[in-house]
Amino acid sequence: MQRRMNSAVPRYRDKVQHWDVINEPLHGNYFGQRLGEDVHSWMFKAARALDPNVQLFLNDYNTVEQCDRGANPEVYLEKVWNLNASGAPVTGIGVEAHYSGEPQLVRLKHDLNRLAMAKLPIWLTELDFSEVESDDQRADYLEAVMRESFAHPSVAGIVLWSAGRSTCAYYKDIDPGMCNPCDACLADSSFKDNEAGRRYVRLRKEWSTHVSRVLWLGKAMKVSPFPKTRYQALRAEWSTHFARRTRLGLPLSFTAFHGRYRVRVSFRGQQVERFFDVPKGAGRLNVAVQL
């Protein structure tokens, strides 16, 4: 285990943002039974020693999807709190969100509220929907869960499970019970959006700000999200699109979603590009750009 960590963690240091230090600890205890329960705390401490900046997660299923005596939010919280009490640097909670049939949104909100008691960021890590009757129904379920999750203050990100048809086919060859049909695909094998993909794109547009207005002639400032990728919402980083004109020296203000922004200022043939981050939560951020 130490050799594996020494190989993988330094290799991707400053390249990956998160590690699932222990995957599905509520559904089996292979290492604990063989090496003692303290090994879980040691794993987090060893990972932190190799990368002081990466976020370290637990990850498990049936925590928000359905009733599971061994993996409900109370059991998950107890695991997190016990690890933190031992000095383990748990910095995030992963819920896989493998849904069978229609998701129960009231339950999802309740379970997220319970898990939020740990005061750690929560990520939906493997979101998909099996046992659906059509692509339209799967798109409805995807939209419902993404809306509920995006609205929750403790949810920091959403990752889809097998978002492409080719990936799904790969898993299907390994285990016919996995990803059959493609439970999370946004596009077909030709990379053409299906209904879930189209719904996803509409959500992205809805959760963005689009403003275009001329105030006065003079310096033009444009603020746009960075990086500008189609599937940025998988990390739940929603965007603000904004373009206005203002006189030189006057402030330009707007309301923005949290995330990273690129500012380009053009004036008399000069162009300056700067980046800034808008943190989560309410507040005011002042950004000065000098030519």
Cβ–Cβ < 8 Å for 19, 57: yes
- Told to judge if 195 belongs to the known catalytic residues of this protein, a careful annotator would answer no
The closest of 284, 276, 279 to 225, measured between CA atoms, is: 276
Q: Which of 37, 78, 96, 126 is catalytic?
A: 126
* φ, ψ at 191 (rounded to 5°): 65, 30
CB atoms within 10 A of CB 251: 8
Q: Which of 24, 148, 195, 237 is catalytic?
A: 24
- Told to judge if 133 belongs to the known catalytic residues of this protein, a careful annotator would answer no
**Cα separation values, 67 from 94, 98, 104, 268, Å:** 17, 13, 11, 63
146 CB-contact burial (10 Å; exposed 0-12 / middle 13-18 / buried 19+): buried
Handedness of CA 31, 36, 40, 45 (dihedral sign): negative
* Alpha-carbon span 75 to 81, nearest angstrom: 10
* φ, ψ at 256 (rounded to 5°): -130, 150
Residues marked as catalytic: 24, 126
